[in-house]
Homo-oligomer: A and B are copies of this chain.
């Protein structure tokens, strides 16, 4: 893709994000996205196969970027606990920093049809795998207990963080999300005791 094409491709994805954030999933018509992007309706279809393709691309691109950031950041970590803290920090702070993205991924895109949700699931999988690797690393290094059920725990950890973000959004962002990293890590590392 030339830089000209790439530019328009990006502007359509940005427009989609904004329109969904402002109008909700069901209020995000293709014509509205086109208008926001400053192109004609038909132009959308020069860059995306159909409406679903816009949404999948949006999710993949943004979540893919996050996962890349995760991978890069945990390179420098000295321990599995440290890595987990880094992941949680990025997870919370990036979504706090980008409220549109948070709203769209946590709330709006989840009300999509089954096909789109499958594609979204595929985008989330690498992230859950990343958490799993951190857990394995911790078990091998002796940081985490050896009887840890890694498959189960990766779900517990992902679900816990995911719900904290959603809960923060629904509350109307009345408090700092990134300030929850310490409390979250305390829970992950020490449990309730």
Contacts and interface: CB of A to CB of B under 8 A. Distances in A.
Contacts of A64: none
Given A192-B145, A192-B148, A163 B158 contact: yes
Interface in A15-74: 24, 26
A158 B157 CA distance: 11
Contacts of A187: 152-153, 156, 191
Tell me the dominant secondary structure on chain A's binding face: helix
Interface residues of A, number: 46
A156 to B, nearest CB: 4
Interface of A: 24, 26, 81, 84, 107, 110-114, 117, 121, 135, 138, 143-145, 147-149, 152-153, 155-164, 166-167, 170, 180, 183-184, 186-193
Contacts of A157: 160
B180 A145 contact: no
Q: Give this chain's copy count.
A: 4
- Looking at A81, A145, A193, the one whose CB has the most chain B CB atoms below 10 A away is A193
Contact of A189 (B84, B110, B162, B192): B192
Nearest to A162: B159
Contacts of A84: 192
Given A189-B192, A193-B144, A112 B114 contact: no
